[in-house]
């Protein structure tokens, strides 16, 4: 059985069926949980001691992810094991939805704002500039982390997301999920960019969910070789899009240093999201 851990990235809520990529309507989030009670049952079964819980998202209907903010907040306020992130959008068309979401930023249990370009918008798009400014400045004012999706290519590529680190990382803590996203993202981050940002004093963090097998071990080797970054990497499952057992095994095998292992699985979560 995996050792107890803190999960810095998982979702709550089930998405409606959708015809992704031109196919028939499907529901791929088979392990999604629709209630707080179901979420807590999973935490108990996994021996997950603490978790950052985020609204599930992925279908191009803005009301779906925004509508799950209440469920993430309910989980955070029901049990001290949980902190939550609120869904916010980089799209100008979601201005009013963002206003409602940001109005909850000071609520008990809120530790992050979650955003992604998978459903539209772009770092440099005129339509996104105002909303991104609101998101990052609100996070800085409230002491929250901005949780940003990364994946290869297009608007979520680390080349684009890195512009947010450059623009806001001096004043806002930024959690880049998925270790930069895929082979190219791993190469760019672990190969130097992640450590360069840390050396410059930028407040950047990452997690190893979805990481290709070689990447966590290489990341741990670079942390030990460079002597920095040990406090910036977190264990995360991205449930229901990832799985606890696989993510735990991959990161646990990445290093045999007990101090680094404890930081990855527990300490860094407590420092970033609260003990």
Strand partners of residue 202: none
The parts of the chain modelled with pLDDT lower than 70 are 1-2, 275
Burial class (CB in 10 A: 0-12, 13-18, 19+), 67: middle
How many alpha carbons fall within 13 Å on the CB side of residue 184?
A: 10
> Can you tell me the distance from the alpha carbon of 230 to that of 205, in angstroms, rounded to the nearest whole number?
10
Range of the domain at 159: 5-273
pLDDT at 275: 67
Report the Cα 216 to chain-centroid distance in Å: 16
Distance CA 38, CA 43 (A): 9
Number of domains in the chain: 1
- Predicted TM-score (pTM) of the model is 0.97
User: Residue 4 has what pLDDT?
Assistant: 86
CA dist 8 and 268 (Å) reads 9
With H, G, I as helix, E, B as strand and everything else as coil, classify residue 87: strand
Please, what is the end-to-end C-alpha distance for the chain in angstroms?
A: 24
Scan for tokens 């979520």, then name that residue.
156
Task: Report the phi/psi class of residue 261: left, alpha or beta, with left for phi > 0 and alpha for psi in -120 to 50.
Answer: alpha
Contact 88, 119 (CB under 8 A): no
Instruction: Please identify which residue in the block is written with the tokens 């979420």.
Output: 39
Q: Domain of 95: which CATH number?
A: 3.20.20.140
């Amino acid at each position: 059985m995996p050792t107890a851990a803190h999960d810095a990235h998982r979702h709550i809520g089930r998405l409606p069926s959708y015809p992704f990529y031109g196919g028939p309507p499907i529901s791929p989030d088979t392990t999604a949980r629709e209630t707080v009670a179901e979420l807590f049952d999973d935490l108990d079964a996994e021996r997950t001691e603490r978790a950052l819980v985020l609204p599930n998202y992925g279908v191009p209907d803005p009301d779906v992810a925004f509508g799950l903010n209440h469920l993430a907040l309910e989980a955070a306020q029901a049990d001290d094991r949980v902190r939550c992130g609120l869904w916010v959008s980089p799209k100008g068309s979601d201005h009013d939805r963002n206003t409602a979401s940001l109005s909850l930023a000071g609520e008990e249990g809120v530790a992050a704002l979650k955003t992604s370009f998978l459903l539209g918008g772009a770092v440099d798009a005129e339509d996104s500039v105002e909303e991104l400014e609101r998101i990052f400045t609100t996070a800085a004012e409230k002491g929250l982390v901005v949780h940003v999706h990364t994946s290869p290519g297009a608007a979520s590529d680390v080349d684009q997301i890195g512009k947010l680190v450059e623009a806001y990382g001096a004043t806002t803590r930024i959690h880049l999920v998925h270790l930069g996203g895929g082979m190219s993202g791993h190469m760019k981050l672990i190969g130097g960019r992640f450590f360069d940002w840390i050396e410059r004093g930028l407040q950047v963090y990452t997690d190893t969910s979805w990481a290709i097998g070689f990447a966590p071990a290489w990341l741990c080797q670079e942390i030990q070789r460079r002597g920095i970054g040990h406090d910036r990497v977190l264990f995360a499952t991205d449930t229901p899009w990832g799985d606890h057992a696989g993510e735990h095994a991959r990161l646990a095998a990445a290093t045999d240093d007990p101090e680094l292992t404890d930081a990855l699985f527990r300490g860094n979560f407590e420092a970033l999201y609260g003990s």
